[in-house]
Structure 1
Amino acid sequence: MTRLDALLAGLARERSTGALRLGRNGTIFLHDGRVTYMECAQTPGVERLLTARGRMTEAALRGLQADGGCARLLEEGTLTPGELQFAVLGAVLDAAFFLLPISGTRPKFRPGERHWLGGQWFFDVAGLVRECARRRAHLADIWPSAEVDTLPVRPVPWLPGHGVTLTRVQWEVIVGADHKATPLELAKQLGRSGYAVLLAVRRLAATGLLTPPDPGRAALPAPGRAAPTDAGRAALPAPGRAAPADAGRAALPAPGRAVPPGPGRGAAVGKRARQAEDAEPDEAADGGEAPGAGLPKRARHPYERPPHDPGAVAQPLGPPVTGDPTDLALLMRLKKALEELA
């Protein structure tokens, strides 16, 4: 099956004008072989971005769509060209992020069909692909588990420390979270781009401000560690709470407390516990039990980052950002900078 980016590249070579419909997933509009707009069912479109943020009413926007389109919108002065261009850029990059990886659909091209905004701005296919790759790499660098992108956003009822600092988007996510809406559903409710909300959610997960998945779901593995496979293993505790003790098994010790010696083990166990606190023991060279083996270890929270490894090689954030070679290049760099600050 032909990949969507390859299909778009072919339409670009043929200088096609029309709409490439991807079933219920969305639509890609092209003019003379260049992408002018993308609609995605998962992400808020430019209409939602404008109305949810109070820039226009839905009734006024419907009237403009039916009569005059983008030209009349700019003539009335409700929005500046820069504001509209920035909204279009966010909607297109959002849609491309979720539409380009789609497979298993049969796209249908309808020649001559145009979006109501018309051909005001253009995006080259290669630039969209590179930007999507950069965004995925950046999300993985913040928090490597993509499961939080589709789970309901559930903030923790208590702070893991004495205080936290939140960005504006993170605050909106925390306030708008009803423990049922996913990040993309929140994005539509808030009138924010889907990628901006995904960034906020992954940063909340990385700082331990989101609760673990429901007990019926498999717990998210900590970065760099395999998920537990044995069915008899206790679930990971919620942040700040001690894990319940299993039958016949001692409860996990709270962080920072010494392991109490069991009956008959005396000072030897206490000494081994102190050794275990100083360093992670390795297995003995002869295959026997290593010092400190068998001692209970603190359970890592599913949203907790592993200890910093100064010797680890930093992963690149993806390919460089390159947008449309004309007027969109500077705007894409500006949008990236704003997303980093959000």
Structure 2
Amino acid sequence: MNVFLRDGDAVYRAWHTDGRGTEQLTHTFALVDLLPYGRQEEWQDSPRRLAAVARLQPMALRQGHRRPLRAGSAGLAISVHVRGKGMTDDLQPMPDDWTRALAVVAHPDDMEFGSAGAVAAWTGAGKQVGYLLLTRGEAGIDSMPPEQARKVREEEQHASAAVVGVSSVEFLDHPDGAIERSPRLRHDLVAALRRHRPELVVTFNHHDFTFTGKWNSPDHRVTGRAVLDAVLDAGNRWILPDAGAEPWGGVRYVAIAGSVRPTHAVDVTGYLDAALASVEAHAAYLAALGVPPGGARAPLEGFVNAAGQRFGGRPAVPFELIAC
């Protein structure tokens, strides 16, 4: 059984060939959970490995077709080909012609889950990296009141950043879970860019879906898109002239972490332990998620190794890179 996935106008179309002819199925769910495994992967026929393919079942079916896509019979191999818009087979190396970076994300832990290894590699190479968080993550722990969680998560974020060589950590105190595209947010971001004057800006996935195939958090979508806009605004002295004394148009790149459309990657060989320690510094948050001590290692290794399949076999952190 072969499943071919093509992305056109944000709609994935799958052609299921089962030996009895070709039937077309269409749905509007982004099958981005396959992207970390590379453009082509041979999967054995097991329910666990075919979980991503099984996501095809709830899609809208055309031409009266009602039979769901099935895993097939025992021992049958699945060949999955994924090609999204603008995707190439290999991830390109991230450019290194920059000195200062500013990571702008919504919550404590947004940088750690996936990107900490890249930050460790950058600071290890002498780059300057600062963190700017829009919230203090006060709504992120269900069992902890916001006033307590705010302090705990702030402390964990400072500790986590220090592990990967980041000493500058700022919080803008927008409400966790309710970040809005507001004049205040626009002003805050433009002021921060003009103050820090980075050449590389890192933010989190602004697309509608996450790379796991789930609908993305409103905070992530709003933050990422606001950051992209602020990069443009910060360079115009006539836009928000009170947000910093001098405009800053020196941002050369915006790197989107956790993107569904990665284009570049950072080699994190030798930095996995630092990345893991950075993640584990969010101890209260991990405990609330039910992650046992040491439980973050396997998914973190899986993430960087999966990206590495498109990066010459080296463990890597993927980014979608936008040139400014």
Q: Same fold (TM over 0.5)?
A: no
Higher-Rg structure is 1
With normalisation by structure 1, the TM-score equals 0.23
Judging by fraction of residues, say which structure has more helix.
Answer: 1
With normalisation by structure 2, the TM-score equals 0.24
